[in-house]
Structure 1
Amino acid sequence: MNIAEILDQMTLEEQASILSGADFWTTVPVERLGIPKIKVTDGPNGARGGGSLVGGVKSACFPAAIAVGSSWNPELARELGKALAEEAKTKSARVLLAPTVNIHRSGLNGRNFECYSEDPYLTSELAVAYIEGVQGEGIAATIKHYVGNESEIERATISSDIDERTLREIYFPPFEAAVKRANVRAVMSSYNRLNGTYTSDHPWLLTEVLRGDWGFDGIVMSDWFGSHSTVESVNAGLDLEMPGPTRDRGAKLVAAVKDGLVAPETVRRAAGNMLRLLEWVGAFEDATMHEEQAIDRPEHRALIRRMGAEGTVLLKNNGVLPLAKAEIGNIAVIGPNADTARVMGGGSAQINAHYRVSPLEGIRMALAGKNAVLHARGADNSRLMPMLQGPVTVEFFDSVDLSGPVVHRMTLAEAHAFWLDPISPKLDMSAFSARISGDYTAAEDGDHVFGAVTAGRGLLKIDGEVVADFWDDWTQGTNFFSTGNDEQRASVSMKLGQTVRYELEYRTGLPGDALMALRAFRIGAARPLGDSDIAEAVERARDADVAVIFAGREGEWDTEGQDLPHFNLPGKQDALIEAVLAVNPRTIVVLQTGGPVLMPWFDRVAAVMQSWYPGQEAGNAIADVLFGDAEPGGRLPQTFPRRAIDNSAFTDDILTYPGLDGHVAYREGIFVGYRHHDTRGIKPFLPFGFGLSYTTFVWANARLSAPVMEEGGLSVQIEVTNSGSRSGSDVVQLYIRPLDARAERPEKELKAFAKLHLDAGQTGTAVLSISHRDLARFDVERKAWIADAGRYEAVIAANAEDIRFVLPFTLEAEWQESLR
Structure 2
Amino acid sequence: MKYKALIDQMTLEEKASLMSGKDFWQTQDIERLGIKSLFLADGPHGIRRQEAAADQLGLNPGIPATCFPTAATVANSWNVNLGEKVGEFLGEEAVSQQVHVLLGPGVNMKRNPLCGRNFEYFSEDPYHAGKLAASYVRGIQSQGISACIKHFAANNQEERRMSIDTVVDERTLREIYLTAFEIAVKEGQTKTVMSSYNRLNGEYTNENQHLMKDILRGEWSYKGVVVTDWGGSNDRIAGLLAGNELEMPTSAGQTNREIVDAIHSGKLEEKTLDENVDRLLDLIFTASEIYEKPYKSDFDVEKHHRVAQKVSEESIILLKNEDKLLPLKFGKKVAVIGDFAKDARYQGGGSSFVNPTILDHTMDCFEESGIVSIGFERGFERYGKKNAELISKACSLAEKADVVFLYIGLDEAAEAEGSDRKSIKLPDNQIELLNALHEVNPNIVAILSCGSVVEMPWIDKVKCLLHGYLGGQAGARAILRVLSGDVNPSGKLAESYPLRYEDTPSYHNFPGNEASVEYREGMYIGYRYFDTAGVDVLFPFGFGLSYTTFEYSNIRVDKDGVTFKLTNTGDRAGMEVVQLYVGCQSNQIFRPKKELKGFDKIFINAGETKTVAIPFDDKTFRYFNVLTNQWEIEEAEYDIMIGASSVDIRLQGSIYIEGTGAEAPYDQEKLPSYFTGNARHVSKEEFEMLLGRKVPASAWDRTKPLGYTDTIEQCQYAKGFTGRLIYHSIVFAHWVLWKMGKRSSANLIMMSIYYMPFRGIARLTGGIVNMQMLDGILLMVNGRFIKGLRHVWKERKKKIKAQKVLS
TM-score (norm 2): 0.79
Q: In 1, Cα distance between the equivalents of 2:187 and 2:661?
A: 22
Q: In 2, Cα distance between the equivalents of 1:79 and 1:816?
A: 42
Q: By how many angstroms is 1:323 displaced? A: 3.9
Please say if 1:3 is aligned against 2:9.
no
Please say if 1:58 is aligned against 2:58.
no
What are the within-5 Å matches in structure 2 for residues 317-356 of structure 1?
Answer: 317-324=321-328, 326-328=330-332, 330-356=333-359
User: Does 171-180 or 62-71 show the bigger shift?
Assistant: 171-180
What are the within-5 Å matches in structure 2 for residues 124-143 of structure 1?
Answer: 124-143=130-149
Match of 1:549 in 2: 406
Q: In 2, Cα distance between the equivalents of 1:729 and 1:273?
A: 43
The one-letter code of the counterpart of 1:313 is I
Please say if 1:268 is aligned against 2:121.
no
Match of 2:380 in 1: 379
Deviations 1:141-185 (A, max 9, x none): 101000011100111111111111001000101111122222110
Alpha carbons of structure 1 residues 613 and 3: separation in structure 2 relative to 1, 3 Å: same
Alpha carbons of structure 1 residues 646 and 294: separation in structure 2 relative to 1, 3 Å: farther
Q: By how many angstroms is 1:254 displaced? A: 1.0
Partner SS, residue 552 of structure 2: strand
**Aligned partners of 1:741 and 1:788 also within 8 Å:** no
Match of 1:623 in 2: 480
Match of 1:559 in 2: 416
The one-letter code of the counterpart of 1:686 is F
Partner SS, residue 805 of structure 1: strand
Runs of 4+ in structure 1 deviating by more than 6 angstroms, as ranges, are none
Deviations 1:585-640 (A, max 9, x none): 11000101111111122123110011011011021111111101112121000000
Q: In 2, Cα distance between the equivalents of 1:56 and 1:122?
A: 31
**Aligned partners of 1:538 and 1:580 also within 8 Å:** yes
Q: In 2, Cα distance between the equivalents of 1:535 and 1:319?
A: 27
Q: In 2, Cα distance between the equivalents of 1:56 and 1:728?
A: 38
Please say if 1:702 is aligned against 2:555.
yes
Deviations 1:640-672 (A, max 9, x none): 001111111112xxxx21111210101100111
Q: By how many angstroms is 1:294 displaced? A: 6.2
**Aligned partners of 1:191 and 1:199 also within 8 Å:** yes
Q: In 1, Cα distance between the equivalents of 2:612 and 2:13?
A: 57
Alpha carbons of structure 1 residues 7 and 669: separation in structure 2 relative to 1, 3 Å: same
Q: By how many angstroms is 1:277 displaced? A: 0.5
**Aligned partners of 2:18 and 2:29 also within 8 Å:** yes
Match of 1:776 in 2: 622
Match of 2:573 among 709, 712, 727: 727
**Aligned partners of 2:435 and 2:461 also within 8 Å:** no
Q: In 2, Cα distance between the equivalents of 1:631 and 1:218?
A: 41
Q: In 2, Cα distance between the equivalents of 1:768 and 1:581?
A: 45
Q: By how many angstroms is 1:802 displaced? A: 0.6
Please say if 1:159 is aligned against 2:12.
no
Q: In 2, Cα distance between the equivalents of 1:201 and 1:813?
A: 35
Q: In 2, Cα distance between the equivalents of 1:629 and 1:371?
A: 15
Q: By how many angstroms is 1:286 displaced? A: 4.4
The one-letter code of the counterpart of 2:217 is R
Q: By how many angstroms is 1:70 displaced? A: 0.4
Partner SS, residue 326 of structure 1: coil
Please say if 1:227 is aligned against 2:233.
yes
What are the within-5 Å matches in structure 2 for residues 203-222 of structure 1?
Answer: 203-222=209-228
Match of 1:585 in 2: 442
**Aligned partners of 1:30 and 1:36 also within 8 Å:** yes
Partner SS, residue 541 of structure 1: helix
Match of 1:665 among 511, 518, 523: 518
Q: In 2, Cα distance between the equivalents of 1:294 and 1:566?
A: 42
Deviations 1:334-378 (A, max 9, x none): 1121101212101111011112112222334423xx734311111
Match of 1:613 in 2: 470
**Aligned partners of 1:41 and 1:97 also within 8 Å:** yes
Q: By how many angstroms is 1:723 displaced? A: 1.2
The one-letter code of the counterpart of 1:339 is K
Alpha carbons of structure 1 residues 22 and 683: separation in structure 2 relative to 1, 3 Å: same
Q: In 1, Cα distance between the equivalents of 2:98 and 2:294?
A: 5
Q: In 1, Cα distance between the equivalents of 2:373 and 2:634?
A: 64
Match of 1:106 in 2: 112
Alpha carbons of structure 1 residues 44 and 553: separation in structure 2 relative to 1, 3 Å: same
Number of residue pairs matched?
657
Please say if 1:311 is aligned against 2:315.
yes
Match of 2:720 in 1: none
Query: Which residues of structure 1 form unaligned runs of 5+?
Result: 384-527, 706-712
TM-score (norm 1): 0.78
Deviations 1:544-566 (A, max 9, x none): 11101110013211110000110
The one-letter code of the counterpart of 1:354 is T
Q: In 2, Cα distance between the equivalents of 1:4 and 1:321?
A: 68
Q: By how many angstroms is 1:325 displaced? A: 6.0
Match of 2:18 in 1: 18
Match of 2:28 in 1: 28
Q: By how many angstroms is 1:29 displaced? A: 0.5
Q: In 2, Cα distance between the equivalents of 1:555 and 1:774?
A: 39
Q: In 1, Cα distance between the equivalents of 2:616 and 2:252?
A: 48
Partner SS, residue 424 of structure 2: coil
Percent identity (aligned): 38
Q: By how many angstroms is 1:816 displaced? A: 7.0
Q: In 2, Cα distance between the equivalents of 1:692 and 1:89?
A: 38
**Aligned partners of 1:343 and 1:618 also within 8 Å:** yes
**Aligned partners of 1:37 and 1:287 also within 8 Å:** no
**Aligned partners of 2:163 and 2:197 also within 8 Å:** yes
Q: By how many angstroms is 1:320 displaced? A: 4.4
Alpha carbons of structure 1 residues 2 and 657: separation in structure 2 relative to 1, 3 Å: closer
Q: By how many angstroms is 1:192 displaced? A: 0.8
Please say if 1:359 is aligned against 2:212.
no
Q: By how many angstroms is 1:532 displaced? A: 1.5
Q: In 2, Cα distance between the equivalents of 1:372 and 1:118?
A: 38
Q: By how many angstroms is 1:200 displaced? A: 1.9
Alpha carbons of structure 1 residues 774 and 323: separation in structure 2 relative to 1, 3 Å: closer
**Aligned partners of 2:317 and 2:468 also within 8 Å:** yes
Please say if 1:809 is aligned against 2:666.
no
The one-letter code of the counterpart of 1:338 is A
Query: Which residues of structure 2 form unaligned runs of 5+?
Result: 664-807
**Aligned partners of 1:698 and 1:723 also within 8 Å:** yes
The one-letter code of the counterpart of 1:762 is E
Q: By how many angstroms is 1:529 displaced? A: 4.8
Deviations 1:408-432 (A, max 9, x none): xxxxxxxxxxxxxxxxxxxxxxxxx
What are the within-5 Å matches in structure 2 for residues 295-694 of structure 1?
Answer: 295-324=299-328, 326-328=330-332, 330-367=333-370, 371-382=372-383, 528-651=385-508, 656-694=509-547
Deviations 1:564-588 (A, max 9, x none): 1101002411111111111111100
Q: In 2, Cα distance between the equivalents of 1:33 and 1:813?
A: 54
**Aligned partners of 1:729 and 1:755 also within 8 Å:** yes
**Aligned partners of 1:296 and 1:354 also within 8 Å:** no
Q: In 2, Cα distance between the equivalents of 1:685 and 1:574?
A: 18
The one-letter code of the counterpart of 2:654 is P
Alpha carbons of structure 1 residues 816 and 134: separation in structure 2 relative to 1, 3 Å: farther
Alpha carbons of structure 1 residues 594 and 815: separation in structure 2 relative to 1, 3 Å: farther
Match of 1:115 in 2: 121
Deviations 1:13-35 (A, max 9, x none): 11111111111111110011111
The one-letter code of the counterpart of 1:679 is T
Alpha carbons of structure 1 residues 688 and 248: separation in structure 2 relative to 1, 3 Å: farther
Q: In 2, Cα distance between the equivalents of 1:289 and 1:229?
A: 41
The one-letter code of the counterpart of 1:810 is Y
Q: By how many angstroms is 1:233 displaced? A: 1.4
Is the helix fraction higher in 1 or 2? Answer: 2
**Aligned partners of 1:320 and 1:586 also within 8 Å:** no
